[in-house]
Chain A
Amino acid sequence: MVSSAELRRDAPASRFLAPEVLARIGNIELLARTVVEGFMSGLHKSPYLGRSVDFAEHRAYMPGDDIRRIDWRLFGRTDRFYLKEFEADSNTDLVQLLDVSRSMRFTSHALTKLDYARYLVACLAYLARKQRDRVGLVTFDEDVLDFVPPSAKHLPILLHTLDRADRAPEGGGKGALSRPLHKAGEACHRRGLMVLVSDLYEEPRAVLDALALLRHRGSDLMVFHVLDPAELEFPFDQPAAYEDLESGERIPVVPDAVRERYRALVADHIATLSRVLGENRIDYGLFDTSRPLDHALASFLTRRERMLRVR
């Protein structure tokens, strides 16, 4: 397990965008573009166009083309031959499930976990859209809050939904994976890539159970575990009553006395998740919100690509 401190040390500050910088970008689309264009520049971009229900563009007729693909209506208007090209059927659906529960609103620095997760989702959606994938979004706490069906045209809606995800009037509700993930699985019939972004404050077995339905449908699953550095390190020194942001429960805590035990528990939790999910062919990635987003994203995708090759 790589600690967040080590991650921060690995990330060249001059090359990547610090979370504090991202927090100052008000437009989430601009933010996603900034992040993605940054680490995608230079990568091979080869969209494959084919037949599908989603219209892509017109192209002038070339000898040898299938005349069945000529757009006759356009010929009637322009007296020229154009072919209609559609999104290739081979492009997949990217559905991201974003946890917006109260616990996601915690932060110990400039960026809340929810903000970080939103930027992450936006970046992935932008990236997918660049690759002509259809993008969809499910926001949830203990139930589904918003559902954006996967579509090639839904990026703006998705971004808009993300934009207002942190404006829930009561600051989000309790988090629970089982029910919303079950509903999301029922709503998304087509197989594709499903990404769960959450702080995963549930036992690893419960997480795995919640993801089981999606996995059984044949979707490719990725789990992004978003945590604040304070959740990892527990750096507090003030004896106080610690209040659970979701349940409101309070317990007296002497940080000095519990810190080591807490860190061990969290590390064990992360290790268990990583192991259990890996055993079930679910990609798991830990995201420290103090780590530059683009660096974390690029590292994860690179690692995933390597793993796919292995698989």
Chain B
Amino acid sequence: MRRTGDHVLAAIPLAWLAVLFLVPLGFTLVYSFGTSGFGTVQLGFSLDNYIQALGPLYLETFLRTLGFAVGSSLLCLVLAYPIAYAIARRSGRFKVVAFALILLPYLASLLIRVMSWQILLAQGGPLEKILRAIGVLHSPITILDSLPAVIIGTIAVYLPIAIIALAVVLDRIPPEVVEASQDLGASPTATFWTVIFPLSRPGIATAALLTAVPMLGELVIPVLLGGNKGLFLSQAISTQYVQSQNYALGSAMVVLLVLAVAVIVALLVRLTRGFEGTAG
């Protein structure tokens, strides 16, 4: 009886997922083999859209976006790890406060947070004034509308996610394991690299997943902080769907993006393989 109830409970979200995710994805897959009119798709089986999506412009765009997502995600992880470590293992009774502070930016919408960076990084803006006041900068700041501005904004937006994902896992590493390492004569550095870091792999994988995957589809930040230059994949897809009204090509690009995400997920699953049961 209880098992039946469990199945019913599981079926509801599964049905929800199927309707909201798999059905649209199915349409996208079917469209990707079709032939596009202006705002219409003639169904059929053609690989032309995939050939075009893998052509020089979009392949380069895809690789650039992939590089951006992987690089920014790595940077996020490197910055997040020490913060997460401090929160999980050093913040004591202030842990909840620390988590709350990390999550505080999410009270504002993404658009507002990114636009705040636009104001902050603008020529003649607050950052320039501060840097000039302390004598670090002597000429106008020109970082806005460039790739570094996009990376700064991206890190700012995704860093809290990485911190939380890592802190949750680091928090669950049993103190006994660390103590055992120390009792056996390992230095703090050796304990970190041989015990804590390997045990935090699921947190690293989760943080990488939660940052790199949405970064692959990031649209707002490159437009607002990057001057809409250096085409990103999401911009290219959006252009095909909305501007060019070429749903078939846009769909092929989406399918390729989903495949790329699947590869990333598979790599991260492999990274954490054999981990089950070692922590928590």
**Binding between chains A and B:** no
